[in-house]
């Protein structure tokens, strides 16, 4: 047997035991847990995410097949699906939410110098939400429509490295725009949103807190034009106006001027109208920023394709939220390892390599180097390459 620790053990060495235990103690996660701790639960669920396990029975069978290696992986308890199911049902999901937020803060410091699609020094966020569909008969607490169940994942993504910075899990019926009520705004940052977030009372908070937004306007909103700026029609920009809301009610919600930019996409010839409270950036940059918002859509597609957040190991609300937060923490942890080891491989390819080498006693960097160029040949053309930097 090769000397050294396993790939899984090396990956988990980038987790601070002290910080994890702080999250556990905050919610008394290990209260009366004599054998199967929160750390054991996290390692089992992380293993399931990394190896794409289908069920609790699948997790149990795979881990028992390598029972002699579990101690060196950090799993001290004997894994049983009933024990894991009970832990997912009863242990507070906020333990793993807080832990994931700690990893997110670490990842953001590592990706702070990543380039944006637009040449800006400002911090740029994209805000959006996605529906995760569930079965109503299995998840009755998540009632969405007459015959459907669902939850909604509200996510604020930092476009430098595409790192999720804020995640809220709500009922499927919850409107997207309500995410603005609890969003802590960063002074000077730019927030990109689709027109589902056009609520002038909520958007006025951006002006009050010296933050900027870029969104698309809705039909039926009336404006009064104050001034116009010259534009270069060859760039696709058709107009650049300073406007105010025309109706008394709307002005009561947003009394300050807004900037309205009309743009025609040269590729699709689609006419787009943007609203922003940023009067300093060129009109073309406003259009390019909104186009960069598509990164959050790709992020949602990517995590649904490569993480276990569409099929769940438990049916309670606590079990579902626990699985989602552990999945996100694994995603961010792998992103941290990729940067710290300076691995020249996309996150998707790194996850594929990890899924089949977790029990190898080889350094992660060596594993990636050995497989490296051949992975490009194996990857299918329809895979999302969002993280090729």
**What does the mean pLDDT of the chain come to?**
89
Indicate the pLDDT class of residue 388, thresholds 50, 70 and 90. Answer: very low
What are the tens digits of pLDDT across the range 189-200?
Answer: 999 999 999 999
Q: Is the pTM of this model over 0.75?
A: yes
What pairs with residue 131 in β-bridges?
152
DSSP strands (E only) in the chain: 124-134, 149-158, 163-171, 190-192, 212-216, 223-228, 237-245, 258-264, 271-276
Query: DSSP of 239-293, one letter per residue?
Result: EEEEEEESSHHHHHH--S-EEEEEEE-TTT--EEEEEES--SS-HHHHHHHHHHT
C-alpha 226/C-alpha 224 separation (Å) is: 6
What are the tens digits of pLDDT across the range 109-150?
Answer: 888 888 877 778 889 999 999 999 999 999 999 999 888 999
- Contact of 318 with 92, CB cutoff 8 Å: yes
C-alpha 333/C-alpha 257 separation (Å) is: 43
By three-state DSSP, how is residue 124 classified?
strand
Single out the residue of 128, 174, 176, 167 nearest to residue 151, CA to CA.
Answer: 174
Indicate the pLDDT class of residue 374, thresholds 50, 70 and 90. Answer: very low
What is the DSSP pairing of strand 258-264 with strand 271-276? antiparallel
> What number is the average pLDDT over the span 168-181?
94
Between vectors from CA 274 to CA 271 and to CA 278, what angle results, nearest 5°? 150
Whether residue 77 has pLDDT greater than 90: no
Q: Name the residue ranges covered by the structural domains of the chain.
A: 7-96+314-378, 207-279
Quick one: pLDDT at residue 203? 96
C-alpha 117/C-alpha 185 separation (Å) is: 22
Indicate the pLDDT class of residue 253, thresholds 50, 70 and 90. Answer: very high
- Contact of 156 with 126, CB cutoff 8 Å: yes
C-alpha 134/C-alpha 178 separation (Å) is: 22
Q: Where are the alpha helices (DSSP H) in 27-66?
A: 38-51, 56-65
Angle between helices 294-306 and 283-292 (to 10 degrees): 10
207-279: CATH class: mainly beta
Quick one: pLDDT at residue 3? 56
């Amino acid at each position: 047997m090769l000397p050294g620790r396993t790939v899984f053990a090396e990956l988990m060495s980038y987790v601070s035991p002290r910080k994890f235990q702080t999250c556990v103690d905050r919610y008394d996660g290990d209260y009366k847990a004599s054998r199967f701790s929160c750390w054991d639960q996290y390692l089992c669920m992380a293993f399931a995410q990394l190896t794409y396990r289908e069920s609790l029975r699948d997790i149990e069978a795979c881990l028992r097949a390598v029972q002699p290696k579990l101690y060196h992986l950090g799993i001290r308890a004997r894994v049983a699906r009933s024990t894991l199911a009970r832990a997912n049902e009863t242990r507070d999901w906020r333990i793993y939410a807080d832990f994931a937020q700690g990893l997110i803060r670490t990842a953001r410091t590592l990706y702070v110098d990543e380039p944006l699609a637009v040449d800006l020094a400002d911090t740029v966020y994209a805000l959006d939400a996605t529906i995760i569909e569930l079965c109503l008969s299995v998840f009755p607490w998540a009632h969405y429509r007459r015959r459907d169940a669902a939850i909604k994942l509200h996510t604020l993504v930092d476009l430098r490295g595409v790192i999720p910075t804020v995640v809220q899990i709500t009922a499927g019926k919850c409107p997207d725009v309500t995410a603005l009520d609890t969003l802590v705004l960063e002074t000077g940052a730019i927030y990109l949103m689709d027109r589902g977030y056009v609520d002038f009372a909520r958007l006025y908070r951006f002006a009050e807190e010296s933050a900027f937004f870029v969104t698309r306007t809705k039909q039926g909103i009336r404006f009064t034009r104050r001034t116009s700026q010259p534009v270069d029609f060859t760039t696709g920009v058709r107009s650049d106006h300073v406007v105010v809301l025309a109706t008394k009610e709307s002005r009561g919600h947003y009394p300050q001027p807004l900037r309205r930019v009309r743009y025609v996409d040269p590729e699709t010839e689609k006419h787009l109208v943007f609203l922003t409270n940023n009067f300093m950036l060129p009109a073309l940059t406003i259009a390019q920023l909104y186009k960069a918002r598509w990164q959050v859509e790709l992020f949602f597609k990517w995590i649904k394709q490569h993480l276990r957040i569409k099929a769940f190991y438990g049916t309670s609300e606590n079990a579902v939220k626990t699985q989602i937060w552990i999945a996100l923490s694994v995603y961010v942890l792998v992103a941290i390892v990729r940067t710290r080891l300076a691995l020249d491989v996309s996150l998707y390819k790194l996850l594929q390599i990890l899924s089949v080498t977790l029990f190898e006693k080889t350094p992660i960097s060596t594993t990636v180097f050995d497989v490296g160029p051949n992975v490009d040949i194996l990857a299918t053309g329809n895979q999302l390459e969002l993280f090729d930097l």
